[in-house]
């Protein structure tokens, strides 16, 4: 991650942290009240030096420190940056909840796989399973399917958010698709 | 002789204080526990406040007197850093 990437995420993390503290009630949900200020201050230092001398030897260390203090807000900021800036509510205490992707093959909306194809891509699936080696479970029709271990029935590209059906299978018209996006 | 044009540009001189604030962040990166030092944290915030306030005074109203007062407060923190930013406290 480059310094400009970190700065962008720090800017977003700052207001995510403010909102989380505001919604956190007593003690700001355990988030230090100084966190948004600290993110602001360190981010300004990084921006200042990056404009002045991008090769400053301390810059990488301070940049990494900046990304570290953004914590979970930095991860949420990454999600916002990668998806164009929407969804991803700020979770208080238990983390953010993401609504599942529900599609019907051949129905024709953006969340629906196309009949006869072997793959299905959705931006809503980008990043899914990233903390578990891109391993996920999905439900097609009434059958749970997975992309790991024995009897895996599909492949999944977390970077592009694409499901590839295996074993020569294609999407069958009318089948339901359910993907829990909190995995 | 007619005056063809004149120009006045006002800029705040914040280089030393900016560099000092950057060094404070460098200290934090090297020793994250320093953030638990309330004096260090609040004085660092004040330093940023003085720098930015001085810049705002110039940018918004070209008020160099107010700007200098803000910069002076920041400079005071820098010049007396041994009292305001004691790295050995955590």
pLDDT digit string (tens) for B11-25? Answer: 778 999 999 999 999
A24 pLDDT exceeds 80?
A: yes
Q: Which residue has the higher pLDDT, A89 or A71?
A: A71
The gap from C-alpha B78 to its chain's centroid, in whole angstroms, comes to: 8
Q: How far is it, in rounded angstroms, from Cα B38 to Cα B70?
A: 22
Contacts of A70 in chain B (CB under 8 A): none
Q: pLDDT at position B19, please?
A: 95
Shortest CA distance from B40: residue in chain A: A38
Q: At what angle do helices A3-23 and A35-52 cross, to 10 degrees?
A: 170
State the pLDDT confidence band at A21, using cuts at 50, 70 and 90: very high
pLDDT in tens, A101-154: 989 999 888 889 999 999 999 888 988 888 788 889 898 887 888 898 888 889
Q: pLDDT at position A82, please?
A: 74
ipTM score assigned to the predicted complex: 0.84
Contacts of B25 in chain A (CB under 8 A): 41-42, 45-46, 62, 65
- What is the percent of chain A where pLDDT is above 90? 46
The SS3 assignment for A27 reads helix
The DSSP line for A61-119 is HHHHHHHHHHHHHHHHHHHHHHHTS---PPPSSS----PPEEEETTS-STTSPPTT-SE
Q: pLDDT at position A141, please?
A: 81
The DSSP line for chain B is --------------HHHHHHHHHHHHHHHH-GGGGG-HHHHHHHHHHHHHHHHHHHHHHHH--HHHHHHHHHHHHHHHHTHHHH--GGG-
8 Å CB contact of A41 and B30: no
A26 pLDDT exceeds 90?
A: no
Q: What is the mean pLDDT of chain B?
A: 88
Residues in A lying within 8 Å of B, measured between beta carbons: 34, 37-38, 40-42, 44-46, 48-49, 58, 61-62, 64-65, 68
Exposure string of B77-89, with b = 16+ CB inside 10 Å and e = fewer, is bbeebeebbeeee
Q: Tokens representing B56?
A: 């705002």
State the pLDDT confidence band at A94, using cuts at 50, 70 and 90: very low
Best of A42, A50, A63 to disrupt the B interface by mutation (most B CBs within 10 Å)? A42
Q: Which residue has the higher pLDDT, B2 or A57?
A: A57
Q: Tokens representing A80?
A: 């916002």
Q: pLDDT at position A96, please?
A: 58
Shortest CA distance from A63: residue in chain B: B29
């Amino acid at each position: 991650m480059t310094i400009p990437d970190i700065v962008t995420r720090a800017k977003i993390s700052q207001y995510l942290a403010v909102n989380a503290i505001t919604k956190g009630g007593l003690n700001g949900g355990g988030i230090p009240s100084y966190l948004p200020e600290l993110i602001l201050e360190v981010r300004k230092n990084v921006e200042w030096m990056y404009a002045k001398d991008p090769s400053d030897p301390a810059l990488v260390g301070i940049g990494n420190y900046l990304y570290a203090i953004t914590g979970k807000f930095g991860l949420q900021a990454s999600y916002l940056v990668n998806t164009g800036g929407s969804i991803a509510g700020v979770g208080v205490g238990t983390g953010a909840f993401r609504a599942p992707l529900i599609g019907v093959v051949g129905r024709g909306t953006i969340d629906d796989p196309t009949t006869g194809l072997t793959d299905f891509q959705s931006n809503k699936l980008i990043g899914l399973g990233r903390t578990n080696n891109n391993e996920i479970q999905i439900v097609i029709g009434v059958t749970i399917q997975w992309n790991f271990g024995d009897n895996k029935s599909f492949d999944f590209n977390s970077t592009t958010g694409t499901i590839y059906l295996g074993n020569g299978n294609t999407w069958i018209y009318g089948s339901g698709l359910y993907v829990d996006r909190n995995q | 002789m007619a005056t063809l044009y004149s120009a006045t540009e006002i800029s705040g001189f914040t280089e030393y204080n900016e560099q000092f604030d950057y060094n404070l962040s460098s200290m934090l990166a090297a020793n994250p526990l320093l953030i638990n030092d309330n004096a260090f944290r609040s004085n660092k915030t004040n330093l940023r406040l003085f720098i930015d306030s001085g810049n705002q005074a110039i940018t918004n109203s070209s008020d160099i007197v107010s700007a200098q007062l803000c910069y002076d407060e920041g400079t005071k923190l820098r010049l007396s850093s041994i009292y305001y930013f004691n790295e050995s406290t955590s």
